[in-house]
Structure formats: C-alpha cells, structure tokens
Amino acid sequence: MISFNVPPFVGKEKEYIIKAIENKKICGDGEFTKKCNQWFLKKIGSKILLTTSGTDALEMAAILSEIEPGDEVIMPSYTFSSTANAFILRGAKLVFVDIRPDTMNIDESLIESAITDKTKAIVPVHYAGISCEMDRIMDIANRYHLKVIEDAAQGVMSKYKGRYLGTIGDFGCYSFHETKNYSMGEGGGIIIKYPKIYERGEIIREKGTDRSRFLRGQVDKYTWVDMGSSYLPSDINAAHLYAQLEVAEEINNDRLKSWNLYYENLKDVKQIDLPTVPESCEHNAHMFYIKVKDINERTNLIKFLKEKEITTVFHYIPLHSAPAGIKYGRFNGEDKYTTKESERLLRLPMYYGLKEEDILKVCGEIKNFYKI
C-alpha cells in the first residue's frame, strides 16, 4: 500500500515535546516558539509570528489589511476554502480570476481588468510551492495601492528570483499542517513586511492585548488595546515544528529528489502533462501532479491505481462553483482554464521519506494504464 501522504517525522520531535512540557510553559511563545522564530529570521530574513493554522495566518492578514464590508479581494478560484474564508469573514466580496494552465497559479495578465474602485487586495496562491509571477503582481498592486497577501501555505522554502515566498507581499501566510512540508500538526505562520503592522499583528494574535510588549518590559501592565483573537499555538506544537526546521534542508532535498524521479520517469508519457517550474522559481517539491485528458480518464486512473494499492487524490472544486463561492464571489472574465484544468489534475504520493522503489512503482503503473 502506497499512501498519498505520511506526515513528516524526523525523530527529535518526541524529545523536544517532552522538553516543552518539562519547561512548564506549554502555552504560546515559549522556548520552542522562540527557536522557530530565530530559525525563520536567519533563514528567510524576516520575522514570523507562529499561528494556530495557515487559515488563521490568512485571517490575521485580512484583519491587518483592514478589509471592510463591501471591499473586493482578487484571488484565483482554484484554491482551498481558507484563502477565501479569511476575507469573507471581514465582509469582503471575492473576485475570482482565471489561472494559468502551466502552473495552476493566478494569471497575472488578467488581474488588472478585475480591479474596480472597491478592490482592496490581491491574494496570489503559490500552488504546489511554485511561485506566482510576483514582479508583475507587485507592480499592479503598487500602481493601484492594493495590499498583497501571499498564500504561501504550500510554499515554505520556495523562492521567486532568489527571494523566499511569503516575504515578497505585504503579508505571507504559511501552513504547518500535517499535509505540508514542515508540520506541527495544526499550525501556521504569518510574515508581516512593515514593522508598524507587525506590532499590530502581535496584538491581534494575543486577544487584542499588548501582552507581547509587556513581556518585553516595554509597558508596565498589559491591557486590551485593539480587536483580536487567540492565534498563538502551544509551545508543544512549536517543539514538533522546530525538530523539522533543524533539518529543513534535508527534508527539502529529499522531496526534490522524489519530485525529480517522478519527472524523469514520466516525461516521455505523451498522454499526460507534467508541472511547469518557471525559470524565476526554485520550488520545494510540495506536490507532484500529473494532468490527464479529462475527468473521466482521471476517475479511471484513480480506480486503476487504487487496485494496485496506490492512493492518489485530486483537489479543489473551483471555489466559484461551490455554494459559498456563488454566494460570496463572482468570476471575472472567462473561466478558460480553472474548471477544465482542475478536472484533469491528479496528485501522486509525495512525502518526506517516500521510497524510490515506490515512486518507480507508481510511474510503472501509470505507464501500464496507458499500455506503454
């Protein structure tokens, strides 16, 4: 049986979790949260605030972007519900834009025509850890004074023109869910570009209080100063994540090795399309997908592989055709690729420690399916 996903585990997680418990500080912002913060600062050159999920990082970004009822937010329809929820919770209207078939990312050339006088933000989603065309998106955002919130849930360790995903827009949101490259079970992180807004981020994350400033000795007592919620994760979760960050390069290289092995073994199968990695992007092998002829062929292939004990999955029913998407959003322009390409896409098993022989078996069975 070849699973689709096995949560990453490197060995030190148990020791660190026990240490977190022994520290007698299992709430947020303990020893391991600080260690994670330092790791990110050193690695990506930006501060991070760990959150209870990638979803919550996006919610914080929506609050910090000062999204108000009636504002419009531009995003792809081909994404997870969390990307959209964060903004409709603030009363925004979603404006969906078509994707590029090569990367499944928002088509940057279609963004400008979706802008109205209500538009407040653009949310590029770096699908499969492969970057959106950020220079173009940042240029549009600057010209129209829009916020950019990168949904980099899948993009930890990926780069665009040498810069880490999540550090390019006004906000970057990471996920450390067990299905992501680095995990704390449920968890995430937000990167906030401007220091003043970062300070507000600390407050929103701590129930609207200035507790962080108090703990640093900057104020004598802490008080309720702003709106907020509880977005900080337990130090036990951070301990799990820290064990994996310590060996992040190793995890990344292992995944890339698997990704490249899939690519080499499938590139000559004419019946399928493989992912494209633009020259501007260094990716993190979050996902390996193939694209088959259509939805029927995909159903047959999933069934065929299941009989060979190989689990493959597909995802996102485009948001604009989901009940909530119809209620809260509109599709701007023509849905040329979103629906069609989403129905062709199939994700192959991909996780840290996936065995070479398993990859070869998956590729072999795909070739058997096409009788080659």
Ligand X SMILES: *Cc1c(COP(=O)(O)O)cnc(C)c1O
The site for ligand X (CB under 6 A) is made up of: 53-55, 79-80, 82-83, 125, 151, 153-154, 175, 177, 188
Which of 223, 204, 205 shows the shortest CA–CA distance to 214?
A: 223
User: Which of 191, 266 has the CB closer to ligand X?
Assistant: 191
What is the smallest separation between the CB atom of 339 and ligand X, expressed in angstroms? 18
Distance from CA of residue 325 to its chain's centroid?
A: 20
- CB–CB of 146/120 below 8 Å? yes
Q: How far apart are CA 270 and CA 248, in angstroms?
A: 35
What is the smallest separation between the CB atom of 196 and ligand X, expressed in angstroms? 26
What is the smallest separation between the CB atom of 39 and ligand X, expressed in angstroms? 18
Q: How far apart are CA 2 and CA 328, in angstroms?
A: 38
User: Which of 82, 332 has the CB closer to ligand X?
Assistant: 82
Nearest residue by C-beta to ligand X? 54
User: Which of 170, 210 has the CB closer to ligand X?
Assistant: 170
Which amino acid makes up residue 65? S
User: Which of 30, 233 has the CB closer to ligand X?
Assistant: 233
User: Which of 52, 209 has the CB closer to ligand X?
Assistant: 52
The strand pairing partners of 190, in sequence order, are 49, 173
- Laid out side by side, the sheet with 281-282 consists of 163-164, 159-160, 281-282
Burial class (CB in 10 A: 0-12, 13-18, 19+), 72: buried
What is the smallest separation between the CB atom of 231 and ligand X, expressed in angstroms? 11
User: Which of 231, 369 has the CB closer to ligand X?
Assistant: 231
User: Which of 125, 277 has the CB closer to ligand X?
Assistant: 125
What is the smallest separation between the CB atom of 369 and ligand X, expressed in angstroms? 27
Determine phi and psi for 147, rounding to 5 degrees. -80, 150
- Strands 288-291 and 72-76 come out as unpaired
Which residues have a Cβ under 8 Å from the Cβ of 203 and sit 6 or more positions away?
Answer: 209, 210, 212, 225, 226, 228
What is the smallest separation between the CB atom of 280 and ligand X, expressed in angstroms? 20
What is the smallest separation between the CB atom of 134 and ligand X, expressed in angstroms? 16
